[in-house]
Every structure is written in C-alpha cells, then in structure tokens.
Amino acid sequence: MDIQVSLFQLFANIVLIAHIAFVLFVVFGLVLTLLGGVRSWAWVRNPRFRVLHLAAIAYVALESWLGIVCPLTSLELWLRGLAGQVVYEGDFIAYWLRKFLFFTAAPWVFTFSYSVFAVLVVVSWYYVRPRKFSRPD
C-alpha cells in the first residue's frame, strides 16, 4: 500500500475517533451532569465545562436545523476518498466506529432528537446550576 494512501486512511480514522469522542462528550456530558447534580459532584458545576457542553450540542442542533453536513463527517469522507476507500467502508476500526455512530433514519428524526437533547442540556442548567466564572489570579 502506498504510504500516502496509508496516511490518508490513518487521518480518516483519527477524524472518526475524534467524531466519536465529540458524540460521547455531548451524550455523557449531560448524563454525568445530571448524575453529578444528584451525587453532589463539584466538577459538574464547572462553568467552562458547562458552556463548552452547551455550545457543542447547540452547534449540532443548529447544523441540523440548517441542513449542514457535519464538518467532521465531510473531512473523514474526503480523506477516505483520497485513500481510495469506498466511502462509509474501511478497515476494522473505521467499520465498527461508524456502525456505532451512524444509523439510518429520516432527517427530521435527527433534527428533532438534537433539538430535544439541546433543550435537556439547557434545562440541566436550572437543576444543576453551574458555579459562577471566577477571575484567574
């Protein structure tokens, strides 16, 4: 296999792993925030974490409402094309991570799901209030 093709495939897999990490941050960020609120975990009230988490799901919901394809998806598919791979197929890691991340449904299902999830994140700010931002010393 050509070294350039291998590098494109490697970069595509790295982008896919980053995509999975982003999804896990969004999903488990809310789960851990709610659980941490019940269990009195101080870190879930960190305002930087909470703003970053809210911004992440707001970005996903906005993309969906505007019909924008996720840039991570576009980048991964472009890299796979450069590697000569069939789009949405790949090596072992890519295959299983993609199975975990993507499934087929009507576009409105995703838009609705992302929007509801974003509302839940906003509601979590009421039930598990973040601390105020502090000035760095």
Q: What does the pLDDT look like over 88-114, one tens digit per residue?
A: 554 445 566 667 666 677 778 888 988
Distance CA 45, CA 133 (A): 10
| pLDDT computed for residue 92 by the predictor | 45
Q: Which domain holds residue 117?
A: 3-127
Mapping DSSP to helix (H, G, I), strand (E, B) and coil, where does residue 71 land? helix
Q: Is residue 13 scored above 70 in pLDDT?
A: yes
Whether pLDDT at 29 is above 60: yes
Please count the structural domains in the chain.
1
Whether residue 8 contacts residue 79, with contact meaning beta carbons closer than 8 Å, is answered with yes
What pLDDT shows up at residue 28?
96
Pick the more confident residue, 9 or 106: 9
pLDDT (tens digit per residue) in 36-80: 999 999 999 999 999 999 999 999 999 889 988 889 988 988 998
N-to-C CA span, the chain: 53
Enumerate residues 6+ apart whose C-beta is below 8 A from 75: 15
In terms of residues, how long is the chain? Answer: 137
Q: Is 6 helix (H, G, I), strand (E, B) or coil?
A: helix
Whether 133 is in a domain gets the answer no
Q: At what angle do helices 107-127 and 47-66 cross, to 10 degrees?
A: 160
**Is residue 85 included in any domain, yes or no?**
yes
pTM: 0.81
Report yes or no on 135 lying in a domain. no
Residue 132 lies in a domain: no
